[in-house]
Amino acid sequence: MSKKIYDVVCLRPEADFLKVGVTPPEELSIIYIAPDDEKLNELVNQAQAIVMPAVGPKLDSNLFKDSAVRLVQVTGAGVDRLDQTAMEEFGIAVANVAGGSNSALAEYAVACALTLHRRLAWADREIRSGNYAAVRQNMIFNNLQGLVGLTVGVVGLGNIGLAVAKAFKSMGCELIYFDPASPNSSDADEIGALSVSLNKLLEVSDVVTLHVPLLKETLNLISVNELELMKKEAVLINASRGGVVDEAALATSLTKGDLGGVAIDVYSDEPPTASNPLLLLEGEASQRILFTPHIAGVTRQAWAYLFETAWNNVVRVLKRSEPALNRVY
């Protein structure tokens, strides 16, 4: 008896789709499998499409060599799990879903800025320890800032960065941005965001929020020299990719008390190892950092949009023989 050949190998559980109300297309034969399953090579070799999350370990390009795969559909924006050169050589289309997490990321950035500037997480911990009166007195004495009137520097003004900028604008913030790929943006002009150099942005911003891809040019974009330019009360938010920020330099900066607070959603290694310098912070420095597990763009609404759009694209390619939408390469 011959083995069944599937149209699609999906590298995330079916439950992920169902719990947000998205039913994978019935006209496709789909197998759901973990990326470390020993059967993966055999299944991919015969399938026409792969559906995979944007986040996770890199996939070995040999997995796709001499396979029948026509499309790799990522259920998010990032495609850095794949080897672009190899995929182009094999003639396999790679498509993503751009913009689906914009609102979720904007909500995350604003929430982190508020939490850190107003020290809400610290207050919660202290009150649970029985220090209500001292905490209230401290917070009033320190005259903690809200967001109105603060300068927010957005690094990377693509779809996500623009959504984040608009969210801060609605909170009454002044906007500046740095984006070498798009130094002049009509979208930025519409919301009154001024293009500046990275150094200038770091020097004057009360909130710095990062939204650039991880490329050779952006690796350790924020390191020792850049952190030294920032205001002592400034907040840094990284919801882009872990390698954009030099984690050791950031840990040193926090230990020295050079930043008001940091929100970290992404790490150079995911999951972060026990030796990650940010996880080793102690005392006051450890109280000025907010960790989340790469979920800035994850909400029920965002996932529903991402998943529905991804499956529609797979059907478009496999069942209607039409070119993939949102093709990255």
State the catalytic residue, choosing from 117, 174, 294, 308. 294
Number of domains in the chain: 2
Mean pLDDT of all residues in 84-88: 95
Same domain, 70 and 142: no
Which helix (H) or strand (E) covers residue 282, if one does? none
Is there a domain that residue 183 lies in? yes
Give the whole-number percent of the chain exceeding pLDDT 70. Answer: 98
- Please state the separation of Cα 142 from the chain's center in Å: 32
Same domain, 304 and 180: no
pLDDT at 122: 94
Same domain, 217 and 85: no
Mean pLDDT of all residues in 126-149: 94
Is there a domain that residue 329 lies in? no
Is there a domain that residue 327 lies in? no
Specify the residue for token string 């350790």: 220
Tokens of 191: 């919301």
Same domain, 176 and 83: no
What are the strands, taking DSSP E only, across 110-157?
151-155
Q: Which of 45, 62, 56, 58 is nearest to 9 (CA)?
A: 45
Residue 127 has pLDDT above 80, yes or no: yes
Mean pLDDT of all residues in 139-167: 95
Residue 95 has pLDDT above 70, yes or no: yes
Same domain, 205 and 108: yes
* Choice between 86 and 143, residue whose per-residue pLDDT is larger: 86
Straight-line distance from the first to the last Cα atom of the chain, in angstroms, rounded to the nearest whole number: 38
192-217 tens-digit pLDDT:
999 999 999 999 999 999 999 888 99
pLDDT at 77: 86
Mean pLDDT of all residues in 27-41: 95
The verdict on whether 300 is a catalytic residue reads no
Same domain, 92 and 106: no
State the catalytic residue, choosing from 241, 247, 288, 308. 241
Same domain, 148 and 14: no
Q: Is the pTM of this model over 0.85?
A: yes
Is there a domain that residue 191 lies in? yes
| Amino acid residing at 36 | D
Is there a domain that residue 276 lies in? yes
Report the CATH number at residue 129. 3.40.50.720
* Choice between 31 and 144, residue whose per-residue pLDDT is larger: 31
pLDDT at 183: 67
Same domain, 269 and 130: yes
Q: Structural domain of residue 68, as residue ranges?
A: 8-100+300-320
Is there a domain that residue 3 lies in? no
pLDDT band at 5 (very low <50, low <70, confident <90, very high): confident
Same domain, 41 and 117: no
Q: Average model confidence (pLDDT) for the chain?
A: 95
Is there a domain that residue 114 lies in? yes
Residue 252 has pLDDT above 70, yes or no: yes
Same domain, 173 and 201: yes
162-173 tens-digit pLDDT:
999 999 999 999
The verdict on whether 270 is a catalytic residue reads yes
pLDDT at 283: 94
Same domain, 209 and 310: no
Q: Using a CB cutoff of 8 Å and minimum separation of 24, what contacts does 257-260 make?
A: 257/232, 257/284, 257/285, 258/227, 258/228, 258/230, 258/232, 259/227, 259/230, 259/232, 259/234, 259/235, 259/288, 260/116, 260/117, 260/231, 260/232, 260/233, 260/234, 260/235, 260/288
Angstrom CA distances, 124 to 99, 170, 260, stand at: 33, 27, 17
Mean pLDDT of all residues in 219-248: 97
pLDDT at 181: 80
* Choice between 78 and 112, residue whose per-residue pLDDT is larger: 112
pLDDT band at 1 (very low <50, low <70, confident <90, very high): very low
Is there a domain that residue 180 lies in? yes
Q: How many CA atoms within 13 Å lie on the side-chain side of 197?
A: 5
Mean pLDDT of all residues in 270-298: 96
State the catalytic residue, choosing from 107, 203, 233, 270. 270
Give the whole-number percent of the chain exceeding pLDDT 90. Answer: 91
Mean pLDDT of all residues in 50-69: 94
Same domain, 83 and 115: no
The verdict on whether 81 is a catalytic residue reads no
